[in-house]
Amino acid sequence: MTQKNDEEATQVPAEQSEAPQYENVLPDRMPRLSIKGEGKAEGGAVSKARLSKTHESRKTHKTLPKQQLEDVGLGLTGTCVALVALIVVALVFMVFQQGLTTFFSDGVDFGAFITGPHWIIEEGQFGALPLIVGSFSVTLLSMLFALPIALGSAIYVVEVQPGFGRHVFQPLVELLVGIPSVVYGLIGLYVVNSSMRALFGSAAGTGAGILSGAIVLAVMILPTVTTLSIDALAAVPNDYREGSYALGCTRWQTVWHVVLKSARPSIMTAVILGMTRAFGETLAVQFVIGNVEKSMPTSLLDPAATLTTALTSGLANATTGSVQYHALWSLGMLLLGMSLLFILIIHLIGRKGAKGND
Amino acid sequence: MTDTSAAAASTSAKPSVAILDVDLDEHARRIRKQDRIATIFLTVIVGFVLALLAALVIYILAQGLPEVLTPGFLTNSPLDRDNPGISYELFDSFYMLFVTLVISVPISLGAAIFLVEYAPENWVTSAASTAIETLSSLPSIVVGMFGSLFFVVYCGWGVSILSGAMALTMFNIPILVRVIQQALQDVPRVQRDASLAMGLTRWETTRSVLLPAAMPAIVTGIVISAGRVFGEAAALLFTSGAAPARLNFGSLDITSLRNPWNIFRQAETLAVHIYKLRMEPTPGNDAIAWGTAAVLIICVLLFNVGARMLGKHLAKKMTSE
């Protein structure tokens, strides 16, 4: 090829272009450095003719010099990334701006907002504690239900029956991810709530409550946690297992003492991601939790509300710019803050894991 | 976990080293029994998960199919007084999905190509990928809330299909970017190197070598993400509305709010319809909700199966050429 490295082309005077062209062929190994059309050099006419001959079949880019083409690619794709980043920044900025208005211009006390036990938006009582408690209790409970099942099936799929796991179990579990959350809510409303009534009698009331919400959420996050746990266990090097078997350990000993232990950081990540999903889930919870926002839930069978459900029911009636509207954005701000915190934790786990492997 | 393993290590070490007259056979029997119990336990768990999945799908279909098979359910308007159907919702769902994909696929494609092929290793790139990661873990109601202020009010698009599609795009982009990134990274290095060594630019390499090679995986990913978008409701409640527009399929005026193709009209998707029916309970609504749920599930299953088949078909076609 008689093409030249772009950077060197600017240094080499045009008169000397014939000789350095051959020199430039070898050092030009780095693919990232862009390659320029040969228009500037004197030998350009020859190579241009040659180039157009080789590219005869590909008429699309013939008119564009290479550097320009590369700039087009970089510009187009860079714009896409910038657009995505910009919209995320806009979202975070806007949620915080609107959410903080409650405390800075509407005069609601932040401490009272976080610790107040009554959320009665029509009367201007903005105590988000029942919602925060609701959100955290359904999230933690659902993880408590989902984790043993997810981890158990992941162990089975990776350690006991890998073939069945890859070809049957995993595709089926991915189907569970596809079931929309309103449908989970509908099933929860019919199945879980009535089972609650059947199990606990009058103590369960209508059957709506934190426990029902947690059960529905557990089913919803099960595929996420399972898939990520499978990945975590599969990533454990086989040497570890073979070492353990060579020492005479049984499969269960190997799983318990070796595989699970070395996969712990990734399993933690799976847990956090599952909790992120549970924390932010809206409609499925809304259907089954009972949506009682005004006071603190006293038991798991009490109807309650979460940050997300209070947002959904409130936003339909709040007028833009009112205190109520801003208070709802403050709830959104709490939700956003929690998801940012979850991401931070995942990053910290990842960094610690990377350090541990060194 | 550390404590139990340390304890187990010490007990298992003792018989062999310290006290040799301990019954090793007994120990072997014990751990083998433990192993068997664990295996049975794991099998039960997997059986439970599979049974749960089967029960869910069968339950939805059993509740919903009778309604779906009622004449007129799929073709009648939801505003029909005597025999309301879900024809508008079906149309709106697919149209919304189409608009969403038209917006989100090019952006995700560009972003993924940038991150895989061009991204310099600096803070800008890591900030961008963190932003995409953040997007993927945002609660959908927060996205909907943002959309209801940004797209609906600030951009002036009103409660419309476009606003809804933009909210869904935010929801869809992280999924798509991850799938496309993975697909591009899975293209063998040799192909990329060979193309670059021939003097093609990165852009040409991406367009003519990498994208065709990654296409089967990308298409599969797009269809699967479409299934997720199809069932999303929380992000749409406040961006595209929770009431069906009174559609006129004969309308030729694209600016009319009754024209089905107008992206500035309100729309109600299937998932939102279910939510709406639950929140305004009137007799007969439950049957419609279950019917809608069954239609939704069938669509999502079809997307899922279709994605796999399409991916396989494309892969075969690409490799045989």
CB nearest to A81's CB, from B49, B128, B138: B128
Structure-token pair, residue B156: 């002036």
- Sequence-separated (6 or more) residues with CB below 8 Å from residue B144: B167, B234, B235, B236, B237, B238, B239
ipTM above 0.95, yes or no: no
Residue B295 sits in which domain range?
70-320
Highest mean pLDDT of the ranges A143-152, A284-293, B135-144, B230-239 = A143-152
Point out which residues pair with B211 in neighbouring strands: none
The residue among B43, B105, B145, B209 with the most chain A CBs within 10 A of its CB, best to mutate, is B145
Is B262 domain-assigned?
yes
Query: What does the pLDDT average to over A27-50?
Result: 43
Query: What does the pLDDT average to over A107-114?
Result: 85
Predicted local distance difference test score (pLDDT) of residue A7: 42
In the structure, what pLDDT confidence band is assigned to residue A296 with cuts at 50, 70 and 90? Answer: confident
CATH number at residue A290: 1.10.3720.10
Indicate whether A195 and A267 sit together in one domain: yes
Tell me: pLDDT of A35 over 60. Answer: no
Contact A1 B48 (CB under 8 A): no
Query: What does the pLDDT average to over B149-176?
Result: 92
In the structure, what pLDDT confidence band is assigned to residue A113 with cuts at 50, 70 and 90? Answer: confident
Predicted local distance difference test score (pLDDT) of residue A355: 64
The 10s digit of each residue's pLDDT in B98-129 is 999 999 999 999 999 999 888 887 888 888 88
Point out which residues pair with A125 in neighbouring strands: A120
The helix or strand, by DSSP H or E, that contains position A35, with its residue range, turns out to be: strand A35-36
In the structure, what pLDDT confidence band is assigned to residue A211 with cuts at 50, 70 and 90? Answer: very high
CB nearest to B145's CB, from A283, A332, A342: A332
Count of domains for chain B:
1
Indicate whether A324 and A194 sit together in one domain: yes
Indicate whether A124 and A89 sit together in one domain: no
The residue among A283, A307, A325, A341 with the most chain B CBs within 10 A of its CB, best to mutate, is A283
Is B6 domain-assigned?
no
Predicted local distance difference test score (pLDDT) of residue A4: 42
Predicted local distance difference test score (pLDDT) of residue B1: 40
Predicted local distance difference test score (pLDDT) of residue A133: 92
Pair B168, B235: CB distance under 8 Å: yes
Query: What does the pLDDT average to over B10-26?
Result: 60
In the structure, what pLDDT confidence band is assigned to residue A63 with cuts at 50, 70 and 90? Answer: low
Tell me: pLDDT of B254 over 80. Answer: no
Calculate what percentage of chain B has a pLDDT beyond 90.
35
Place of tokens 């896409």: A80
State the nearest Cα–Cα gap between A90 and chain B, in angstroms.
9
Contact B278 A72 (CB under 8 A): no
* Burial annotation B244-265 (CB, 10 A radius, 16+ → b, else e): bbebeeeeeeeeebebbebbbb
Q: Which residue of A has its CA nearest to B29?
A: A250
Indicate whether A209 and A318 sit together in one domain: yes
Predicted local distance difference test score (pLDDT) of residue B113: 92
Q: Kindly list the residues from chain B whose CB atom is less than 8 angstroms away from the CB atom of residue A171.
A: 308
Tell me: pLDDT of B162 over 80. Answer: yes
Indicate whether A321 and A343 sit together in one domain: yes
Average pLDDT, chain A: 81
CATH number at residue B297: 1.10.3720.10
Lowest mean pLDDT among A89-98, A206-215, B274-283, B289-298: B274-283
CA distance A96 to A76: 31
Contact A257 B5 (CB under 8 A): yes
Higher pLDDT, A156 or A121: A156
Indicate whether A30 and A73 sit together in one domain: no
Is B3 domain-assigned?
no
State the nearest Cα–Cα gap between B269 and chain A, in angstroms.
12
State the nearest Cα–Cα gap between B34 and chain A, in angstroms.
7
Indicate whether A43 and A128 sit together in one domain: no
Predicted local distance difference test score (pLDDT) of residue B321: 53
The 10s digit of each residue's pLDDT in A239-270 is 999 999 999 888 999 999 999 999 999 999 99
Name the nearest CA neighbour of A244 among A236, A233, A235, A255. A255
CB nearest to B131's CB, from A66, A84, A182: A84
Q: HEC states along chain B?
A: CHHHHHHHHHHHHHHHHCCCCCCHHHHHHHHHHHHHHHHHHHHHHHHHHHHHHHHHHHHHHHHHHHHHCCCCCCCCCCCCCCCCCCHHHHHHHHHHHHHHHHHHHHHHHHHHHHHHHHCCCCHHHHHHHHHHHHHHHCCHHHHHHHHHHHHHHHCCCCCCHHHHHHHHHHHHHHHHHHHHHHHHHCCCHHHHHHHHHCCCCHHHHHHHHHHHHHHHHHHHHHHHHHHHHHCCCCCCCCCCCCCCCCCCCCCCCCCCCCCCCCCCCCCCCHHHHHHHHHHCCCCCHHHHHHHHHHHHHHHHHHHHHHHHHHHHHHHHHHHHC
Query: What does the pLDDT average to over A300-329?
Result: 87
Contact B114 A279 (CB under 8 A): no
Is B14 domain-assigned?
no
Q: Which residue of A has its CA nearest to B297?
A: A179
Query: What does the pLDDT average to over B273-290?
Result: 85
Query: What does the pLDDT average to over A73-87?
Result: 89
| Cβ neighbours, 10 Å, residue B50 | 15
Q: Kindly list the residues from chain A whose CB atom is less than 8 angstroms away from the CB atom of residue B41.
A: 152
Tell me: pLDDT of B51 over 90. Answer: yes
Indicate whether A39 and A166 sit together in one domain: no
CA distance A327 to A321: 10
Pair B232, B182: CB distance under 8 Å: no
Is B100 domain-assigned?
yes
Q: Backbone dihedral region of B120: left (phi > 0), alpha (psi from -120 to 50 degrees) or beta?
A: beta
Higher pLDDT, A72 or A5: A72
State the nearest Cα–Cα gap between A98 and chain B, in angstroms.
10
The residue among A36, A47, A60, A80 with the most chain B CBs within 10 A of its CB, best to mutate, is A80
CB nearest to A312's CB, from B53, B106, B237: B237
Pair B35, A253: CB distance under 8 Å: yes
- Sequence-separated (6 or more) residues with CB below 8 Å from residue A211: A141, A196, A300, A301
Mark which residues 124-183 of A lie under 8 Å from B by CB: 148-149, 152-153, 155-157, 160, 169, 171-183
Predicted local distance difference test score (pLDDT) of residue B94: 92
Is B59 domain-assigned?
no
By DSSP bridging, strand A4-5 and strand A125-126 are unpaired
In the structure, what pLDDT confidence band is assigned to residue A204 with cuts at 50, 70 and 90? Answer: confident
CB nearest to B296's CB, from A74, A180, A187: A180
CA torsion through residues B183, B186, B190, B196, sign? positive
* CA-angle at B271, arms to A84 and A337, nearest 5°: 45
Lowest mean pLDDT among A199-208, B187-196, B262-271: A199-208
Predicted local distance difference test score (pLDDT) of residue A23: 40
State the nearest Cα–Cα gap between B134 and chain A, in angstroms.
7
Count of domains for chain A:
3
Contact B49 A171 (CB under 8 A): no
Higher pLDDT, B81 or A278: A278
The 10s digit of each residue's pLDDT in A224-247 is 999 999 999 999 999 999 999 999
Indicate whether A307 and A159 sit together in one domain: yes
Pair B293, B233: CB distance under 8 Å: no
Query: What does the pLDDT average to over A295-310?
Result: 86
Is B61 domain-assigned?
no
CB nearest to A94's CB, from B52, B146, B237: B146
Q: Does residue A70 belong to the interface with chain B, where contact is any CB pair within 8 Å?
A: yes
CA distance B178 to A207: 40
Residue A9 sits in which domain range?
4-61
Tell me: pLDDT of A142 over 90. Answer: yes
CB nearest to A78's CB, from B59, B114, B153: B114
Tell me: pLDDT of A20 over 50. Answer: no
